[in-house]
Amino acid sequence: MNALSQIFRKELWTKPLFVWYLYDFANSFVFINATIYFSQWVVVDNKIPDFWLALPFMLATAILVFLSPYFGNYGDRKGAHYKIFLWTTLGTVASAFLMFFAGRVGLGPTKAIIMALIFYAFYQFFYQLAFVPYSVFMKFLSPEEDYGKVSGIGFGLSEVGHIAGLLLTLPITYGIISIFGADRLAPMFPAALGFMVFAMPALFVLKSKSLAFNRPLAEFMPEPPVFKSLWENIQKARNYPGVLPLLISFYFFSDAIVTITFFSAIYLQNVFGASDVFKVNAAMLVIIGWAIGAFVGGALSDRWSHRKILLWSLVGNAVLIAAIALARDLYLNLALFPIFGIVGGAAYASSRSYLASLIPKEESGRFFGLYAFAERFASIAGPLVWGLITWSLAGYFPLNYRAAVLAMAVLVVVGIIPLLASKKAPSF
């Protein structure tokens, strides 16, 4: 039986694992529609500067930089992983609905936008924080030999969720259904409803499993202050071989991948003058490639080691990002983007499963909190690097954008170094 066919084994599709995958599928509904439609409702339709759209995301992310390690540690100490998951999921659902209703209650255009952006900040906070306990569950729902496949299926179905989320709201964006409105805010209601419907099974099924991953450890884990928990968790990571190098690596390569993904449409517009249709097609190719890469990379990491697949996928990322920066023909990107998605999906699936294999169950919240911290901080630092390069080299347009892409390839290479330097670590 080859590695990929093993993802269809019945042991990987138990009820708890199925609803765990389904949650990853569901949370993509609001994310993709907010990224494409809510952002345009704010910036394009209501003529609000980009900064005010970015501000809620940046504030939520900055807060999570400190709180994600704390809540991960809190879940370990108090046996509260399910409780955190429950409230962050409900907070995500509620804030997604409120983003829609804020623009429909007759407050006036300015107040409506301000309220919608406030609820968008809450959405980002709850949405991102929920991934800390969500990732912890993987340690308790699957055996170590299946970490890669389980992680890959979760990431893969998340990408399928992006496509499903866009298909769900397609009748609204094409004007076939107008009950929710005829503007770009309209898709947010069905997207939030879809997320709620598909996420609810996880809340019910995982509650019955909560005793397994909610054993309090307070008797031997003192409670650190919020602002000290990050430093203490980083120090603790040094006690487990391989964990700190992986977190450092994840920070750098996540910096690059998140930034490339975020600015890809702007890059295609400014360097090639690409049409919106071309940009949508390129995005869809990345999503499909990411799903394939997550499925395949996760399965192969169980067979050939998580660290090895992560290393090779990062090499592929560096090469693909450099190729995108140097490509002179617009349509060459249609070949490069899906391959970039494949190696990106493999990198994320294998990095999560690699971390799971390096940490003990009873402290998984602590380390997945650090994992979330690295990703959240990367989503601030990476775009900042991109912005500084494009701004400082503005006189060399459009070479400044190519230079920014090449800088992301360098960040991936930097991320490879800690993994190469780390020694072989024992598994838990």
Q: 217 in a domain, yes or no?
A: no
Per mean pLDDT, which of 20-24, 60-64, 222-226, 397-401 is the most reliable? 20-24
Domain boundary among 188, 208, 228: 208
Would the pLDDT of 424 be above 60? no
- 157 and 292 assigned to the same domain: no
Q: Please, which pLDDT band fits residue 64 given cuts at 50, 70 and 90? A: confident
With respect to residue 214, please indicate whether it lies within any of the assigned structural domains. Answer: no
Q: At what angle do helices 81-102 and 188-208 cross, to 10 degrees?
A: 170
One domain for residues 283 and 375: yes
* Residue 226: per-residue pLDDT: 55
The CATH number that applies at residue 105 is: 1.20.1250.20
- pLDDT confidence band for 309 (50 / 70 / 90): very high
Q: Are residues 202 and 246 in the same domain?
A: no
| Amino acid in position 136 | V
Q: Are residues 349 and 304 in the same domain?
A: yes
Q: Tell me the mean pLDDT in the region 249-253.
A: 89
Kindly state whether residue 50 falls inside one of the protein's structural domains: yes
Is the model's pTM score more than 0.85?
A: no
3-state secondary structure of 106: coil
Flag whether pLDDT at 294 surpasses 80. yes
Residue 423: which H helix or E strand, with range?
none
163 occurs within a structural domain: yes
Q: Which of 87-96, 152-161, 169-178 has the highest mean pLDDT?
A: 87-96
Structural domain boundaries, residue 76 = 7-208
Closest CA to 405 of 313, 315, 298, 319: 319
The verdict on residue 411 lying in a domain is yes
Instruction: Note whether 257 and 344 are same-domain residues.
Output: yes
Tell me, yes or no, whether 198 and 245 share the same domain: no
Number of domains composing the chain: 2
Q: Do 308 and 369 sit in the same domain of this protein?
A: yes
* Domain identity same for 379 and 265: yes
248 and 191 share a domain?
A: no
Least confident of 257-271, 295-309, 399-413: 257-271
Residue among 93, 105, 98, 116 at smallest CA distance from 45: 116
pLDDT, position 388: 86
The verdict on 202 and 243 lying in the same domain is no
Q: Which range has the worst mean pLDDT, 67-81, 110-124, 154-168, 304-318?
A: 67-81
Q: What pLDDT is attached to residue 151?
A: 87
- pLDDT at residue 403 above 90? yes
- For 135, phi and psi rounded to 5 degrees? -70, -35
Task: Kindly report, residue by residue over 24-52, the tens digit of the pLDDT.
Answer: 999 999 988 888 788 878 877 888 876 78
pLDDT confidence of residue 278: 83
- Tell whether 250 and 392 lie within a shared domain: yes
In a domain, 234, yes or no: no
